[in-house]
Amino acid sequence: MPYLFTSESVSEGHPDKVADQISDALLDNFLAFDPESKVACETLVTTGQVVLAGEVKSDTYLDVQNIAREVINKIGYTKGEYQFSGDSCGVISLIHEQSQDINQGVDRGSKEEQGAGDQGMMFGYATSETENYMPLALDISHKILHTLAEMRRENKEISYLRPDAKAQVTIEYSDANEPQRIDTIVVSTQHDAFDADDEKMLAKIKSDIISILIPRVKSQLPADTQKLFDDQIKYHINPTGKFVIGGPHGDTGLTGRKIIVDTYGGKGAHGGGAFSGKDPSKVDRSAAYAARHAAKNLVAAGVATEILVQVSYAIGVVEPTSIYVDTYGTSKVGLSDGEIARKVAELFDMRPFAIEDRLKLRNPIYLETAAYGHMGKQPRTITKVFESPYNGRIEKEVELFTWEKLDKVAEIKSVFSL
> Which among 225, 246, 267 is the end of a domain?
246
pLDDT tens figures, 282-326: 999 999 999 999 999 999 999 999 999 999 999 988 999 999 999
Binding residues for K(+): 42
Report the CATH number at residue 239: 3.30.300.10
Binding residues for Mg(2+): 16
pLDDT at 98 (0 to 100): 65
Structural domains in the chain (count): 2
C-alpha 416/C-alpha 67 separation (Å) is 47
pLDDT surpasses 90 at 232: yes
Q: Tell me the HSE value of 336 on the side-chain side, using a 13 A CA sphere.
A: 4
Q: 233 vs 135, 143, 171, CA distance in Å? A: 19, 17, 10
Binding residues for ATP: 14, 164-166, 242-243, 251, 257-258, 274, 278
pLDDT surpasses 90 at 4: yes
Q: Do 124 and 169 lie in a common domain?
A: no
> In this prediction, what percent of the chain has a pLDDT beyond 70?
96
Per DSSP, helices labelled H in 34-163 are 64-75, 100-106, 136-154
**Sign of the torsion formed by the C-alpha atoms of 288, 294, 297 and 301:** negative
pLDDT at 106 (0 to 100): 59
What is the arithmetic mean of pLDDT over 144-150? 98
Q: Do 124 and 149 lie in a common domain?
A: no
Residue 341 forms part of a structural domain: yes
CB-based contacts of 55: which residues, under 8 Å, 6+ apart? Answer: 38, 39, 40, 95, 96, 97, 98, 99, 102
Query: In what helix (H) or strand (E) does residue 56 lie, and over which residues does it extend?
Result: strand 49-57
Residue 269 forms part of a structural domain: no
**Helices 283-301 and 337-347 sit at what angle, rounded to 10 degrees?**
110
pLDDT tens figures, 95-130: 987 655 445 555 555 666 777 878 899 999 999 999
C-alpha 24/C-alpha 22 separation (Å) is 5
Q: Do 195 and 302 lie in a common domain?
A: no
> Which among 246, 261, 291 is the end of a domain?
246
> Which among 201, 226, 246 is the end of a domain?
246
Q: Do 124 and 165 lie in a common domain?
A: no
C-alpha 162/C-alpha 164 separation (Å) is 6
Rounded to 5, what percent of the chain is helix, strand, coil? 35, 25, 40
Q: Do 347 and 387 lie in a common domain?
A: yes
pLDDT at 101 (0 to 100): 47
Q: Do 386 and 287 lie in a common domain?
A: yes
Residue 360 forms part of a structural domain: yes
CB-based contacts of 325: which residues, under 8 Å, 6+ apart? Answer: 307, 308, 309, 310, 337, 338, 340, 341, 344
- Closest to 226 in 3D by CA, of 140, 291, 353: 140
Residue 287 forms part of a structural domain: yes
pLDDT tens figures, 331-383: 999 999 999 999 999 999 999 999 999 999 999 999 999 999 999 999 999 99
Cβ–Cβ contacts within 10 Å for residue 407, how many?
A: 12
Which domain covers residue 352, as residue numbers?
120-128+281-415
Q: Do 226 and 318 lie in a common domain?
A: no
Rg (CA), the chain: 22
Q: Do 406 and 341 lie in a common domain?
A: yes
Q: Do 124 and 141 lie in a common domain?
A: no
Find out whether 311 and 350 touch, Cβ atoms under 8 Å.
yes
Residue 230 forms part of a structural domain: yes
Binding residues for L-methionine: 55, 98, 251, 282
pLDDT at 14 (0 to 100): 97
Q: Do 160 and 224 lie in a common domain?
A: yes
Residue 273 forms part of a structural domain: no
Residue 344 forms part of a structural domain: yes
Binding residues: 14, 16, 42, 55, 98, 164-166, 242-243, 251, 257-258, 274, 278, 282
Q: Do 227 and 342 lie in a common domain?
A: no
Q: Do 398 and 350 lie in a common domain?
A: yes
Residue 96 forms part of a structural domain: no
